[in-house]
A and B are shown apart, each in its own frame.
Chain A
Amino acid sequence: MRRTVLLMFFFIFTICVCKASVRAESSTVSEGQPAETPHEEKTPVINKANEDGELKHTVSAGQSDDTRKEDATPADTTQEDEEPINNDVKEEPPLVKDPLQPYNRAIFTFNDKAYHYFIKPIYTGYNSMIPEKARVSVRNFFTNVKMPVRFFNCLFQGEFKGAGTELTRFVINSTVGIAGFFDPAKSKFHLEKHERDFGQTLAKHKMHSGVYIVWPFLGPSTVRDTVGLAGDAALNPLSWISYFFLTPIEGFGNYAYDTVNDVSIDKGQTYESITKPAIDPYIALQDAYVQNRIKKIKE
């Protein structure tokens, strides 16, 4: 009897300790972030001093010590409640460099017109003829064929479990899913697709994004993601099939059909939901693209 009561108290005690440690962990994480900002501000001071010459070095070292103290105190006081707000509001790091803006804006306008007057009429007609379920099936088919792109990029990024999942998905969907038109791997076996591309791989191997580029028809990209697109094309069986077995026009038709089908399901809506409510659609699309890429690279 006593033992059970003791056991219960022990149980409660451990729960409390666990909770406390979890909270402590989360609070140290949140306190760690603001501590970094003064550090970053401090480094340029030293760098400038180093450029000026060695004589000033001792002086600047003293200055940087002072600034460190000054920075530390307000950070400590504001940490309690207001820090995240101040952090967000003050820092305005440009997410991507855009020296080609005049050219990019022109291409953006062209793409926007092409979307509204050319691609959208095509896909609205296509939508009215083909029911959504069929379109999703077509997408599933193309997604299944493009498995090597995801498989190899999982490998390149060291995600062997993801690569294994992709392989299993391919086997299940190609057979039970009738050549990939259905996705039983997800609906029945709960195997999620691992969207990995070559741009992510390059980013994981520390390549910087480079300048922002808008390509005709392809839309927003960066230098890194353009290289990534080429890499993905090389891994894509569709490009091999069209290179060896199809005429250029057939190959392009294949690609265009895949794209239009994709746009018809949700990409078109996504594009409109970003650009329509925007005050400056060009910047809105650029920012959304870059933020989304950052998220995908972190995954």
Chain B
Amino acid sequence: MNYRKITSALGIGMLSLAVISPLLWAGEPGKLLMETIDKGFAILKDTSLKGEEKVQERRQMLWKEISPIFNFDEMSKRALGQHWKSRTPEEKKEFVELFTTIMKDAYIGKTDTYSGEKVVIVSEKQDKKYATVQTKIITNKGTEVSVDYNMLNNPGGWAIYDVIIEGVSLVNNYRSQFNNILIKSSYKELVQKIKAKQS
């Protein structure tokens, strides 16, 4: 009797492990993403941080929480595309800083209009170092926006290298813009244009 109990318990234990472990294993990038999004939402929902006069404080806190999940080096590299290779290390460093600021200005500002949107994970794919987490933003108007996050597993952990909103890849969008400028003029002019935009 005892023997039976032990074996069946073992069997059930092994079975549940076999079922649960892939979920835990596969969920890593998605889990990290959702945790970060939840942290962001917590700040946006924080009543002590609401209001016009707290905008700067709120944006800064958000940026602190959200920015570590982005791999800005990789994003900048991809946004510059074929022109990345011919840049000097200093130029690369400067460009990463500029591109980070573009991202920050563009997307932190959008959180000011937050009004109870929700985010749900639709699916998750992982292939060695690369993962795609498909999510959906559900607005309070009932519309849904599909947002996919392409993530890369570096020694520092999983980080986002591209965001695809309704099929529009952010990095590809900027690459088209940069390419178009670089075809007609020099890299220097591109940097000037970005700086002019930011000042």
Interface window among B43-51, B52-60, B87-95, B162-170:
B162-170
0 or 1 for each of B143-181: is its CB under 8 Å from A? (1 = yes): 100000000000000000000001111001111111111
The answer to whether B174 touches A279 (Cβ under 8 A) is yes
Total interface residues on B, CB under 8 Å, equals 48
Given A1-B4, A81-B129: A291 in contact with B172 (beta carbons within 8 A): yes
Docked complex: B1-59 residues within 8 A CB-CB of A:
4, 7-8, 11-12, 14-15, 18-19, 22
Residues of A within 8 A of B78 (CB): 85, 88-89
Interface window among A8-16, A118-126, A145-153:
A8-16
The answer to whether B11 touches A277 (Cβ under 8 A) is no
The answer to whether B168 touches A265 (Cβ under 8 A) is no
Residues of B within 8 A of A9 (CB): 11
Q: What's the least CB distance linking A273 to chain B, in Å?
A: 6
Residue of A whose beta carbon sits closest to that of B179: A92
0 or 1 for each of A64-91: is its CB under 8 Å from B? (1 = yes): 0000000000000000010011001110
B194 within 8 A of A: yes
B82 within 8 A of A: yes
The answer to whether A292 touches B167 (Cβ under 8 A) is yes
Residues of A within 8 A of B188 (CB): none
The answer to whether B141 touches A265 (Cβ under 8 A) is yes
The answer to whether A132 touches B8 (Cβ under 8 A) is no
* Interface size classification for chain A: 35 or more
The answer to whether B18 touches A16 (Cβ under 8 A) is yes
A-B contact count (CB 8 A): 105
Whole-angstrom distance between the alpha carbons of A130 and B78 in the complex?
44
A4 within 8 A of B: yes
The answer to whether B14 touches A8 (Cβ under 8 A) is yes
A205 within 8 A of B: no
A249 within 8 A of B: no
Whole-angstrom distance between the alpha carbons of A292 and B168 in the complex?
6
The answer to whether A279 touches B181 (Cβ under 8 A) is yes
Consensus secondary structure, chain A interface: helix
Residue of B whose beta carbon sits closest to that of A187: B142
Whole-angstrom distance between the alpha carbons of A278 and B197 in the complex?
9
A46 within 8 A of B: no
Contact of A15 among B19, B113, B141, B142 (CB under 8 A): B19
Q: What's the least CB distance linking A161 to chain B, in Å?
A: 20
Q: List 25 A-B contacts (CB under 8 A).
A: A1-B4, A1-B7, A5-B7, A8-B12, A9-B11, A11-B15, A12-B14, A12-B15, A12-B18, A15-B18, A30-B127, A85-B78, A266-B139, A279-B181, A279-B193, A279-B194, A280-B181, A280-B193, A284-B173, A287-B172, A287-B173, A291-B172, A291-B173, A292-B167, A296-B167
The 9 A-B residue pairs with the shortest CB-CB distance, nearest first, are A295-B167, A277-B106, A287-B176, A8-B11, A291-B168, A280-B177, A288-B168, A283-B177, A283-B180
